[in-house]
Amino acid sequence: MDLAYDLLDSGGKRWRPVLGMMFADCFGRDFKQSIKDGDVIEKNGDILYACALTEIIHNGSLMADDLEDKSLMRRGKPCTYIRYGEDYAVNTSTLMYIAPIIKLDTYIKDADKKQRFQDIYQEEMFNIHFG
Amino acid sequence: MKSYSELFVDSKIMESILPRKLTNAQELRDFNPFLLEEEEDYDYADFEGINDVSKTKLF
């Protein structure tokens, strides 16, 4: 997990979760209050889960992409595969694709939403690796 | 933008999905319920090995 957070903590702008939270805010989700109350996961876990999933998968794809392209630097530091080795970079990026979807049941309770979420996940994962 | 980003970090949702460390059987079971066949096997997992495996930094 150190390698995943090595990249996740390295100063990305978090556009994807921010955009998701902004949309949710527009539809009446109050993140600020629930974070203050300490029940943000209970009240807004579904939205935050979707936001975090995009962020974790995106960073996993950057790690894999850096290896494919033999990039040298990512966010001001040598790429993960350079610092830790290709084997660790491949395993970590794959983990970052798979680990979030394992938690789907924990955060999305409605069966229809869950199925729709799963369909979108599969479709988009196929799209980002096609070609 | 910044406040949303901070709220996202403060929510600790990423750590909830992808824990930074796995320190006990329950955390390991929550993270990967498919890893071990027997429930009690999680109690004997090598947590030091799990957490230290990524310390092999080359540069």
The whole-number average pLDDT for the span B1-10 is: 86
Residue A48 near residue A30, CB atoms below 8 Å: no
Residue A77: which H helix or E strand, with range? strand A77-78
What integer pLDDT is reported at residue A131 of this predicted model? 67
Token readout for B2 is 């910044």
ipTM (interface pTM): 0.88
Q: Helices A40-69 & A86-102, crossing angle to 10 degrees?
A: 150
What global pTM score does this model have? Answer: 0.91
Highest mean pLDDT pick, A5-14, A30-39, A93-102: A93-102
C-alpha closest to that of A40 among A54, A30, A50:
A30
User: Does B6 reside within a domain?
Assistant: no
Question: Which of B5, B9, B21 has the CB atom closest to A1's CB atom?
Answer: B21
- Structural domain harbouring B55: 19-59
Q: How far apart, in whole angstroms, are the C-alpha atoms of residue A61 and residue A59?
A: 5
User: Does B37 reside within a domain?
Assistant: yes
User: Does B30 reside within a domain?
Assistant: yes
Highest mean pLDDT pick, A3-12, A71-80, B44-53: A71-80
C-alpha separations of B20 from A20, B27, B50 in Å: 23, 11, 11
Chain A hits for B49, Cβ within 8 Å? none
Q: Do A18 and B5 touch (CB under 8 A)?
A: yes
User: Does B29 reside within a domain?
Assistant: yes
What integer pLDDT is reported at residue A40 of this predicted model? 80
C-alpha separations of B4 from A7, A13, A54, A123, B17 in Å: 20, 11, 15, 27, 19
- Homologous superfamily of A2-126 in CATH? Farnesyl Diphosphate Synthase (1.10.600.10)
Residue B58 gets which letter from DSSP? -
Q: Which residue would you say has higher pLDDT here, A122 or A11?
A: A122
Q: Do A49 and B13 touch (CB under 8 A)?
A: yes
- The tens digit of pLDDT for each residue in B47-56 reads 888 887 656 6
B40's CB contacts (< 8 A; 6+ apart) are none
Q: CB atoms < 10 A from the CB of A131, how many?
A: 4
3-state SS of B16-30 is HHCCCCCCCHHHHHH
| Residues of B (1-59) whose Cβ lies below 8 Å from A | 1, 4-5, 7-11, 13-14, 16-22, 31-33, 51, 54-59
- Return the domain boundaries, chain A: 2-126
